[in-house]
DNA sequence: ATAATGATTCGCT
DNA sequence: GCGAATCATTATG
């Protein structure tokens, strides 16, 4: 399966919203413990600091954790959620621009058997790689992946394998789990491939 | 130093 | 629909 590695210039554009939509249909790949696992990105959420109250980097917030978001585009931002889930984000924009895109769901491609093993699932369903916590577990995202470059095919990277999505096939809805973010919670910055069952929730 | 909490998921009711 | 799991990060003293 040959794909074209997404280049630095894909990630370093300033506006995170088109980048998030263009990630739909691209292939996220990880290489861990001699296993290559991958999937078509089917659902993402954009986070646009400093103005976005839902972002960890809201209002130029700089802490040890958020520092990764201020790096140049084309890196992974990984954080632990609820003490359990490793969430995989794509850092975008130039250095000191704290934009990021959360990968919420993928459609399994390579290494599906290994992904099932990592998930400890008895019965395989769409929950294998749907939902950001499940994506992290299936792709074996680890805390030490925080800050790694996506620009080489070593650990984590994103490829274009020629999938083209027409504008009308992209669903735009409210982001999940950020009700505290007031008016920013209303932004339709969750993007997903319509009619694709590999998303964390059919509606929202 | 301590305490609160979360860009979630799963199992049970 | 509800609550537990589980811990790095964060704010606060």
Predicted confidence at residue A201, as pLDDT, reads: 72
Q: How far apart are CA A117 and CA A141, in angstroms?
A: 15
In the numeric block, the tokens 């083209």 are attached to: A164
The percent of residues in chain A predicted with pLDDT above 90, rounded, is 95
In this complex, the answer to whether residue A142 has its CB under 7 A from any atom of chain B, a nucleic strand, is no
- In the predicted model, is pLDDT for residue A175 greater than 70? yes
In this complex, the answer to whether residue A68 has its CB under 7 A from any atom of chain B, a nucleic strand, is no
- Selection from A5, A194, A175 nearest residue A102 by Cα: A175
DSSP state of A109: B
What pLDDT, in 10s, does the model give residues A63-76?
A: 999 999 999 999 99
In this complex, the answer to whether residue A25 has its CB under 7 A from any atom of chain B, a nucleic strand, is no
- In the predicted model, is pLDDT for residue A25 greater than 60? yes
Residue lying closest to nucleotide B6, CA to C1'? A82
Read off the pLDDT band of A204 (50, 70, 90): low
Q: How far apart are CA A136 and CA A142, in angstroms?
A: 8
Question: What letters, b where the CB count within 10 A reaches 16 and e where it falls short, cover A28-43?
Answer: bbbbbeebebbbbbbb
Q: How far apart are CA A158 and CA A27, in angstroms?
A: 5
What pLDDT, in 10s, does the model give residues A84-139?
A: 999 999 999 999 999 999 999 999 999 999 999 999 987 889 999 999 999 999 99
Predicted confidence at residue A203, as pLDDT, reads: 56
Among the listed ranges A35-39, A122-126, A149-153, A178-182, which one has the minimum average pLDDT value?
A: A122-126
Q: How far is CA A132 from the centre of its chain?
A: 8
Q: How far apart are CA A75 and CA A16, in angstroms?
A: 14
Q: Which nucleotides of C are covered by protein (CB under 7 A)?
A: 5-11
Predicted confidence at residue A121, as pLDDT, reads: 87
Predicted confidence at residue A109, as pLDDT, reads: 98
Predicted confidence at residue A49, as pLDDT, reads: 97
Enter the pTM of the model: 0.97
In this complex, the answer to whether residue A64 has its CB under 7 A from any atom of chain B, a nucleic strand, is no
């Amino acid at each position: 399966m040959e794909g074209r590695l997404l280049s630095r210039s894909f990630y370093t554009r300033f506006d995170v919203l088109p980048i998030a939509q263009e990630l739909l249909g691209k292939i996220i790949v990880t290489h861990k413990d001699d296993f290559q696992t991958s999937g078509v990105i089917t659902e993402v959420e954009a986070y646009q600091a400093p103005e976005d109250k839902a972002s960890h980097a809201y209002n130029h917030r700089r802490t040890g954790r958020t520092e990764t978001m201020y790096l140049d585009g084309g890196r992974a931002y990984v954080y632990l959620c609820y003490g359990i889930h490793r969430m995989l984000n794509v850092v975008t924009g130039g250095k000191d621009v704290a934009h990021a895109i959360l990968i919420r769901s993928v459609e399994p491609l390579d290494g599906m058997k290994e992904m099932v093993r990592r998930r400890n699932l008895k019965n395989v369903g769409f929950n294998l790689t749907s939902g950001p916590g499940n994506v992290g577990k299936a792709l074996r995202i680890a805390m030490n992946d925080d800050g790694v470059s996506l620009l080489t095919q070593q650990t984590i990277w994103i490829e274009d394998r020629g999938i083209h999505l027409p504008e009308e096939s992209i669903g735009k809805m409210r982001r999940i789990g950020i009700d505290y973010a007031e008016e920013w919670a209303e932004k339709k910055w969750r993007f997903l491939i319509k009619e694709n069952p590999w998303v964390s929730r059919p509606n929202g």
